Amino acid sequence: MEFDLAPLRKLQEIDLAIAARLKVEDELPRQIQAFDDEISSRQAEMEGEKGKLGDLQKSKKTAEGEVELLRGKIAHYKDQLLSVKTNREYSALLKEIDSAQKKIDGLEETIIAYMIETDEHHAHLKRIEAWFQSERAKLLANKAGIERELAKARADRSALESQRLEMEKTLPETVYRTYVRVRELRGTSLAEARDQFCMECHVRLRPQVYNDLRSNIRMITCDSCDRILFYDGPPPVAQPDEAAAPMESEEELDAATQGRSSTGD
């Protein structure tokens, strides 16, 4: 009776398919997270630019308010110049006017710097907004595609696991235990044997083992890697027995018997 390796080979095929789905389920969420991180990063960058623009606007308004106050002081000091009576008072007011004007000059330079920086942030904000218009939709579409692929992988794995459970029930317990033990040890349980070699560990099989494997009369494992071996080539050619002597006819047997009787007489 031949040993049927087909269920074990199918089981390994299912296990490899399940492993492939699990790998997909491990990798795809990271890709989805990368899309989310890219969108979140751009969103945070855009909000940051808006915040900087708001701060620059406030700082510019504060500086402009200080300039207006200083100009008001200068106007007041100039009015006072018309009514002073001593050179000392006149000189003191001129110093105040000069000091206020220097502060105005410094503030106006600061305001110009704020305006330049504001223009730069406006340009950057426009680039981010343009990215959102052109790239965000693409990222979301790619993310949706990957989410569909992930859902399919999970559904496929669930179906394969149900199929595996049913197949497991049909296997002899000792065979299944061997299969699981080798899979846990080596990652795969079965290996093809070809030209007297195990194709997984590449160790030469003993001639008798290889002949038994080709005859498919029992479960055979590799002496080196312990994997269950299978052979896909033709069975061994049976050696013909020695030619049997031709059977004598009844007439020849009778003649031989009579001959022996005559000799005896």
Please provide the distance, in angstroms rounded to a whole number, between the alpha carbons at the two ends of the chain.
58
Q: What is the pLDDT of residue 166?
A: 94
Domain 20-163, what fold? Answer: Helix Hairpins (1.10.287)
Contacts of 253 (CB under 8 A, 6+ apart): none
Domain assignments of the chain as residue spans, ordered by start: 20-163, 173-230
Residues 197 and 234: beta-carbon distance below 8 Å: no
pLDDT digits (tens, 9 = 90+) for 96-122: 999 999 999 999 999 999 999 999 999
Q: What is the pLDDT of residue 265?
A: 44
What the block records as the tokens of 111 is 């305001």
pLDDT confidence tier of residue 257, bands split at 50, 70 and 90: very low
pLDDT confidence tier of residue 261, bands split at 50, 70 and 90: very low
Which of 182-186, 212-216, 233-237 has the least mean pLDDT?
233-237
Higher pLDDT, 154 or 260: 154
Q: What is the pLDDT of residue 1?
A: 53
Please give the Cα distance from 259 to 255 (Å, whole number). Answer: 6
> Does residue 237 register a pLDDT over 70?
no
DSSP assignment string, 14-58: HHHHHHHHHHHHHHHHHHHHHHHHHHHHHHHHHHHHHHHHHHHHH
pLDDT confidence tier of residue 84, bands split at 50, 70 and 90: confident
Please give the Cα distance from 202 to 225 (Å, whole number). Answer: 9
221 DSSP 8-state letter: B
Query: What is the b/e burial string over 47-61, where b = at least 16 CB atoms within 10 angstroms of the residue's CB?
Result: eebeebbeebeebbe
Q: What angle do CA 51, 57, 62 make, to 5 degrees?
A: 130
pLDDT digits (tens, 9 = 90+) for 149-179: 999 999 999 999 999 999 999 999 999 999 9
> Does residue 127 register a pLDDT over 60?
yes
pLDDT digits (tens, 9 = 90+) for 18-67: 999 999 999 999 999 999 999 999 999 999 999 999 999 999 999 999 99
Q: What is the pLDDT of residue 216?
A: 85
pLDDT confidence tier of residue 238, bands split at 50, 70 and 90: low
Average pLDDT, the chain: 88
Please give the Cα distance from 77 to 130 (Å, whole number). Answer: 52
Q: What is the pLDDT of residue 240?
A: 53
Q: What is the pLDDT of residue 137?
A: 87
